[in-house]
Amino acid sequence: MFAVAAAAAMAVAATCVKGASATVPAAMVVFCRSAFGLLMLLPWLLREGRSAFVTRRFGGHLWRSGFGLVSMVGYFYSISHLPLAEAVLLTYTMPLFAPFIGWFWLGERPPASALPAALIGLVGIGLIVKPGSAGLASTAAIIGAFSGITAAAAMIGIRRISDTEPASRIVFYFMLLATMVTALPAHCAWQAPTLPAWGWLVGVAAFATLGQLLLTLAYGAAPAASIGPFTYTSVIFAGALGWAIWGEAPDVWSIAGIVLVIGSCLLTLIPRRGPPASARPIDA
């Protein structure tokens, strides 16, 4: 229930991004998502005191935040130019790439299912991206797929520092650094949002933060392999919202690509047999 609720909240957040992007510059959307999310998180962190902010792994936070910010910018761009369900799905391809990034970065050998899953997933991405087609939609699809790769790198970055850094501190530094980095571009592109646009912008931060909280509760209540499949209901929610609000309907090739990508991502969740491979020592 937590995982499905998180997926629904993330789909609503993506809907708010698309709504805001119609009248608000992209730099403002990214800045407001980070700044408003930070303001919503601060009261909770302040109750924990100084320990919520002190870290000796600032370099790790920089790596995680850098990849996360690049992923978020690409995700928001793809949302503004693609049908909502396709944009959400392309970022949700991170399980296809995470095993190989983890192998390179942490020395964790991927399971046997990782390579066939990645190959099937790439075929599905190709059906959505439609190589050779022209226009913003094709470019946005490629950028959306790249956001999935950088999202996977961000997740591995979290794993790399999670032995000493609690989730609340990781989220805080991501929000803080993303707000600082996007402040100047947002200032240069700033224009007074309309009242409906303010609603979209606040909705992005509120529902994305709620989704993160619900997903944290889900992973605290059950193994990751049990939770993973439910997160893909976000694509269903996003498709329903895109159809209801903007009349979006994917073509047959995109539907086939969505099926292949979701199937390949679920394949990566098959638990490996035997003891896990040891990782190299984790440093700062």
Convert the pLDDT of each residue in 223-256 to its tens digit: 665 676 788 888 889 989 999 999 988 788 888 8
Closest of 232, 257, 70, 77 to residue 151, by C-alpha: 70
* Average pLDDT of the residues in 174-189: 93
Tokens of 60: 């790790």
98-155 pLDDT, tens digit per residue, is 888 888 877 878 878 888 888 888 888 888 876 555 566 778 888 998 998 998 898 8
DSSP label at 268? Answer: T
* Average pLDDT of the residues in 208-221: 78
59-78 pLDDT, tens digit per residue, is 989 998 999 999 999 999 99
Euclidean distance between CA atoms 18 and 201, whole angstroms: 10
Per-range mean pLDDT, top range of 8-17, 38-47, 109-118, 141-150: 8-17
Look at residue 277 in the predicted model and tell me its pLDDT.
Answer: 43
Predicted confidence (pLDDT) at residue 51 exceeds the cutoff of 90: no
Considering only residues 92 and 247, tell me which one the structure prediction assigns the higher pLDDT. 247
Q: Taking each helix axis as running N to C, give the angle between helix 136-161 and helix 84-91, from 0 to 180 degrees, rounded to the nearest 10.
A: 40
Predicted confidence (pLDDT) at residue 185 exceeds the cutoff of 80: yes
Look at residue 282 in the predicted model and tell me its pLDDT.
Answer: 36
Closest of 271, 155, 268, 262 to residue 223, by C-alpha: 271
Predicted confidence (pLDDT) at residue 272 exceeds the cutoff of 70: no
Determine if the pTM surpasses 0.85.
no
Considering only residues 87 and 275, tell me which one the structure prediction assigns the higher pLDDT. 87
What number of other Cβ atoms are within 10 A of residue 273's Cβ? 7
* Cβ neighbours for 208, distance < 8 A, ≥ 6 positions apart: 9, 10, 13, 33, 37
Considering only residues 278 and 132, tell me which one the structure prediction assigns the higher pLDDT. 132
Euclidean distance between CA atoms 130 and 124, whole angstroms: 10
What does the DSSP assignment read for 54-104? --S-HHHHHHHHHHHHHHHHHHHHHHHHS-HHHHHHHHTTHHHHHHHHHHH
Closest of 78, 204, 212, 187 to residue 143, by C-alpha: 78
Model confidence band, residue 283 (pLDDT cutoffs 50, 70, 90): very low
Out of 6-20, 34-48, 197-211, 212-226, least confident range = 212-226
**What are the C-alpha distances in Å from 62 to residues 29, 47, 147, 178?**
21, 25, 18, 10
Euclidean distance between CA atoms 246 and 19, whole angstroms: 10
* Average pLDDT of the residues in 173-189: 93
Predicted confidence (pLDDT) at residue 280 exceeds the cutoff of 50: no
Tokens of 158: 């979290």
Is there a contact between 177 and 65 (Cβ–Cβ < 8 Å)?
A: yes
* Residue 133, SS3 per DSSP: coil
DSSP label at 13? Answer: H
